[in-house]
Amino acid sequence: METVNNALEIINLSKNYGANKAVDNISFNVKHGEIMGFLGPNGAGKSTTMNIICGCISASGGTVNVCGCDVLENPKIVKSKIGYLPENPPLYFDMKVWEYLSFVYDLKKVKNNKKEHIEKIMELVKISDMKNRMIKNLSKGYKQRVGLAQALIGDPEVLILDEPTVGLDPKQIIEIRNVIKEIGKERTIILSTHILQEVSAVCDRVTIISHGKIVAQNTLKGLEEATGGKDKYILKLKGDTQKALDILSSIDEIVNINTTFINDSEAEILLERKPESDISMQLTEAFGKNGIAITEFKSALLTLEEIFIKLTNSKIYEEEKEEQEVTENDSNI
């Protein structure tokens, strides 16, 4: 049953460029109708993975299944189910928008009402006014939209978008994101990016990749909880700080108290509560009685940026350490 639920299955995928492992044994699934964010720093292997899924390059190992079809065994069937917007939209600059989309329509061997189909897509990505303009004369934002329109031709079940908002101005970014959310209602989308707001704005789930390896795979909420600890809170207060600490240690539900800053009248404290307990009521009551003011009380969940840096850096840090050790050994010799 599970294979039916997954629009895309990637199993132990690898790609080597000589000794360099661009993609190193990664596996993930994307469910039907899901928008998955494919996140990673530049050069992490995002584009390589996407190129493999679309059949532009071949993997060194592993399998890619799109809607139950293997890319290697049935390349034509798989390719007809995928719409791909590469990092640089593959546009022929000396064609007009309409001419270009009509070529893509023929190229993909789509069989329904051509005029209606292309017009519907141009309407969706809002390029109808540009249909008789030369592509080379369009602004970057419109070029990106034509690229997106190209990917949508033939109503593919799976859309693969490689950094669709790169190089656009903030207004265009929001517009393109809205378009992606709109089309994502009926389709499966994989969207690669290194812009984190994009993930929180449009994606249901994230896969974070770094140095060709998957470092995290989760829903946004799950990712925040897993890395931040959902039972940790940051508490800032004003008043008798010593008294406040005594109160905190007297509450049973609090298992851990870490003072990050303290003087006579102000303190910042990191608390950890027992799972599923509630400490907010007890805190406000006890502090209120003793004239201690809470100036800030918030969950210590990490923001997506912090998670990203934490996950991708730890990897880099480990590798740097290894490299250092190697060079040290070399110098010993």
Determine phi and psi for 89, rounding to 5 degrees.
-55, 130
Options 6, 45, 49, 84; binder of other proteins; rule CB under 8 A: 84
Q: In a 3-state reduction of DSSP, which class is residue 280? A: helix
- Transcribe 2-54 into DSSP letters: HHHHEEEEEEEEEEEETTEEEEEEEEEEEETT-EEEEE--TTSSHHHHHHHHT
- Closest distance to other proteins from the beta carbon of 280 (Å): 53
Torsion angle of the four alpha carbons 149, 155, 159, 160, in this order, in degrees rounded to the nearest 10: -50
Cβ contacts of residue 177 below 8 Å, gap of 6+? 165, 198, 201, 202
Q: Which is nearer to other proteins, 82 or 244 (CB)?
A: 82
Burial status of residue 186 (CB atoms within 10 A of its CB: 0-12, 13-18, 19 or more): exposed
Contact between 137 and other proteins per CB under 8 A: no
Residue numbers 85-104 binding other proteins by CB under 8 A = 86, 88, 90-95, 103-104
Q: Which is nearer to other proteins, 146 or 203 (CB)?
A: 146
Whose tokens are 């460029």? That residue is 17
Q: Which is nearer to other proteins, 158 or 199 (CB)?
A: 158
- Closest distance to other proteins from the beta carbon of 304 (Å): 29
For other proteins, which stretch binds (CB under 8 A), given 106-114, 124-132, 222-230, 257-265? Answer: 106-114
- Closest distance to other proteins from the beta carbon of 220 (Å): 29
Contact between 286 and other proteins per CB under 8 A: no
Contact between 73 and other proteins per CB under 8 A: no
Q: Which is nearer to other proteins, 80 or 218 (CB)?
A: 80
Residue numbers 38-67 binding other proteins by CB under 8 A = 51, 54-58
Contact between 107 and other proteins per CB under 8 A: yes
Options 11, 77, 234, 251; binder of other proteins; rule CB under 8 A: 77
Distance CA 241, CA 260 (A): 13
Distance CA 76, CA 108 (A): 10
Q: First CA to last CA across the chain, in angstroms?
A: 57
CB distance 262 to 236 below 8 Å: no
* Number of residues in contact with other proteins under rule CB under 8 A: 29
Residue numbers 5-44 binding other proteins by CB under 8 A = 17
Distance CA 205, CA 225 (A): 14
Contact between 141 and other proteins per CB under 8 A: no
- Closest distance to other proteins from the beta carbon of 110 (Å): 10
- Transcribe 224-260 into DSSP letters: HHHHH-TTEEEEEEES-HHHHHHHHHH-TTEEEEEEE
Options 20, 109, 275, 298; binder of other proteins; rule CB under 8 A: 109
Residue numbers 148-177 binding other proteins by CB under 8 A = 150
- Closest distance to other proteins from the beta carbon of 18 (Å): 9
Which residues are at the interface with other proteins (CB under 8 A)?
17, 51, 54-58, 75-77, 79-80, 82, 84, 86, 88, 90-95, 103-104, 106-109, 150
